[in-house]
């Protein structure tokens, strides 16, 4: 008695899928799992804010990414690599001395449940936040990342100001502090105006 037709088709289909998965492993993209050195972090308003961010954001927005086993297997590795590269590109909590143009948006993305991405939460239940934790993180992010007038003045006197948000990035700002008028744009070195 010959095998039912659907069984043969299924066997062929499985072999094709298996073949594709094996071939996919040869693609070089998705293997850069380096964690660059950890630089300056934001001045967190509390250790709770940092802990919540570490739990829900650091895998993609820091240099402390945990690389799970499936991040070594294509095609998942492509997705993970893309998330981490893009995530670090817009916001990197381990490189706070570099312009992090999206810092002003962080709290909003949390409140609107845009971040962390849903697909990530499926595989990372530990990163899920309760409503109370979400609100706490959003408040904490605003307090830690969006400079107030005073903290801005402190940063100005230290010589460097991080970008607040993309909207502000190219605006020239003048700032008066300790009888010196400073000028420059966020993300750049400030200079006294003569």
Residue 123 contacts residue 117 (beta carbons within 8 Å): no
How many angstroms from the chain centroid is the CA of residue 174?
30
The contact set with ligand HEC (CB under 6 A) reads: 56-57, 59-61, 83, 86-87, 90-91, 102, 105-106, 109-110, 114-117, 120
Least distance (Å) from ligand HEC to the CB of residue 41?
A: 14
Distance CA 101, CA 105 (A): 9
Compare residues 108 and 177 and give the one whose CB is closer to ligand HEC. 108
Nearer to ligand HEC, 88 or 152 (CB): 88
Q: How far is the CB of 117 from ligand HEC (least distance, A)?
A: 5
- Residue placing its CB nearer to ligand HEC in the complex, 140 or 184: 140
Residue 179 DSSP code? T
Which alpha helices (DSSP H) does the chain contain, by range? 5-24, 47-56, 58-61, 76-90, 106-111, 118-123, 131-145, 149-158
In the bound state with ligand HEC, the residue whose beta carbon lies nearer, of 25 and 119, is 119
């Amino acid at each position: 008695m010959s095998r039912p037709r659907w069984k043969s088709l299924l066997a062929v289909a499985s072999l094709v899928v298996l073949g594709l998965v094996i071939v996919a492993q040869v693609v070089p993209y998705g293997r850069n799992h380096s964690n660059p050195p950890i630089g300056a972090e934001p001045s967190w308003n509390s250790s709770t804010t940092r802990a919540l961010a570490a739990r829900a954001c650091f895998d993609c927005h820091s240099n402390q990414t945990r690389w799970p086993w499936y991040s070594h297997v294509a095609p998942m590795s492509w997705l993970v690599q893309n998330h981490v590269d893009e995530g670090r590109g817009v916001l990197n909590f381990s490189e706070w001395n570099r312009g992090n143009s999206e810092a002003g948006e962080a709290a909003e993305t949390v409140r609107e449940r845009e971040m962390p991405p849903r697909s990530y939460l499926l595989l990372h239940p530990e990163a899920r936040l309760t409503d109370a934790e979400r609100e706490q993180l959003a408040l904490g992010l605003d307090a830690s990342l969006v400079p107030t007038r005073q903290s801005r003045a402190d940063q100005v006197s230290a010589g460097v100001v991080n970008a607040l948000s993309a909207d502000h990035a190219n605006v020239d700002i003048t700032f008066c502090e300790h009888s010196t008028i400073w000028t420059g744009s966020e993300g750049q070195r400030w200079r006294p105006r003569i």
